[in-house]
């Protein structure tokens, strides 16, 4: 297979990008802070060097172990615009190319758009939309707003529909990868709550999941699906729907749903909330893959702190141990949880 298994870091830690206060930079040649020969110099410069002969670096937005994001001005666009350039280190260039290929196949208002890409000193540079901050950090402390969560959820489901149409599994859905669509997006209850799903560096084509069958090192631990933990070779799109269920609970409550420290611990946390894991579901024998009963709705309701029947049953349908009966993105849009958004019929996202 052409898709290579990337390094996956559990939960919120590891190699994720960390937001940084904006810093002016003279970006002659950019390298991540993990290298000794870092070549960006903090400080004002009226004429910083251009990247790819068109992008003027303005400040450092975020920095991680193997990649960084730089705010740049696109001086050749008909009207000068600000963009975010993700610079992936030479050591992880295959991940950068993997993300480039995935983004090139997508056209969704709820997924970060790739405007351009180029190589610079061995770095894979992806020119992306300039989005706002991470949604989780931007939300007010007074959470548990069902209407706000519904607006976010429908956009994430729409993004997953587009991914599936392109034959892609995101494989790293977590709050850090959900950004406000623009720096000034309205996150009030009456606002649009416009968001974008980002970071497709860990994405994989559904027909090439066999690249992970040796170690199943895919998905961040907190959001990892049962079929991955139990090493089911047939895992596919449903792993993203499990992650979605975990993320929606976290956005609603502000707390990680399954804050595990290991796969075994993760399994224990599942069973505390959802009951025993039906091990035969993950058998290689197709005959044994029967539908499982729904999780204890009262337990889920108590855990996330709401009695809203639409939300509770929606979460239960996403956190179905059985990937074969878990909601698909298309089925999710027909769930009663989204009825208030589409009072006159089908969702426009399915057209």
Which residues are marked as active site? 172
Place of tokens 């996150």: 187
Q: Is the four-CA dihedral 201, 205, 211, 215 of positive or negative sign?
A: positive
Cβ-count burial of 146 within 10 angstroms (0-12 exposed, 13-18 middle, 19+ buried)?
middle
Please answer whether residues 229 and 219 qualify as being in contact, where contact means their C-beta atoms are separated by less than 8 angstroms: no
Q: What is the rounded CA–CA span in Å between residue 219 and residue 239?
A: 9
Parallel/antiparallel/unpaired status of strands 114-120 and 123-128: antiparallel
Q: What is the rounded CA–CA span in Å between residue 293 and residue 301?
A: 17
Question: Which has the closest alpha carbon to 242: 162, 302, 338, 327?
Answer: 327
- Rounded-to-5 percentages of helix, strand, coil across the chain: 35, 15, 50
Q: Find the helix or strand (DSSP H, E) in which 131 lies.
A: none
Q: What is the rounded CA–CA span in Å between residue 298 and residue 320?
A: 15
Q: What is the rounded CA–CA span in Å between residue 275 and residue 229?
A: 16
List phi, psi (to 5°) of 302: -65, -40
Distance set, CA 59 to CA 11, 114, 185, 234 (Å): 27, 20, 21, 44
């Amino acid at each position: 297979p052409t898709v290579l298994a990337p390094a996956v870091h559990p939960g919120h830690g590891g190699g994720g990008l960390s937001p940084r206060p904006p810093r002016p930079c003279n970006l002659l040649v950019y390298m991540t802070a993990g290298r000794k020969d870092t070549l960006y110099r903090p400080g004002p410069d009226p004429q910083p060097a251009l990247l790819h002969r068109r992008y003027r670096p303005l400040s450092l937005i975020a920095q991680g172990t193997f990649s960084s994001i730089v705010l740049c001005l696109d001086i050749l666009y008909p009207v000068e615009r600000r963009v975010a350039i993700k610079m992936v280190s030479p050591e992880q260039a295959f991940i950068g190319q993997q993300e480039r290929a995935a983004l090139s196949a997508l056209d969704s208002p709820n997924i970060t758009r790739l405007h351009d890409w180029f190589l610079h000193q061995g770095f894979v540079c992806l020119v992306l939309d300039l989005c706002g901050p991470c949604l989780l950090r931007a939300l007010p402390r007074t959470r548990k707003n069902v209407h706000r969560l519904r607006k976010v959820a429908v956009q994430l489901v729409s993004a997953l529909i587009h991914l599936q149409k392109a034959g892609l599994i995101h494989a790293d859905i977590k709050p850090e990868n959900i950004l406000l669509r623009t720096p000034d997006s309205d996150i009030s209850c009456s606002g649009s709550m416009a968001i974008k799903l980002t970071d497709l560096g860990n994405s994989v084509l559904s027909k090439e999941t066999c690249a992970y069958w040796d170690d199943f090192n895919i998905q961040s631990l907190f959001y990892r699906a049962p079929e991955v933990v139990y090493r089911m070779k047939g895992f596919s799109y449903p792993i993203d729907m499990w992650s979605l269920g975990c993320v929606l609970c976290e956005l609603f409550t502000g707390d990680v749903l399954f804050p595990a420290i290991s796969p075994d611990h993760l399994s224990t946390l599942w069973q505390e909330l959802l009951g025993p894991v039906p091990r035969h579901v993950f058998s290689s024998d197709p005959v044994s893959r029967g539908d499982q009963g729904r999780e204890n709705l009262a337990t889920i309701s108590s855990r996330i702190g709401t009695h809203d029947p639409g939300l509770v049953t929606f979460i239960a349908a996403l956190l179905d141990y059985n990937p074969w009966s878990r909601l698909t993105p298309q089925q999710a849009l027909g769930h009663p949880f989204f009825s208030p958004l589409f009072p006159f019929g089908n969702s426009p996202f399915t057209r």
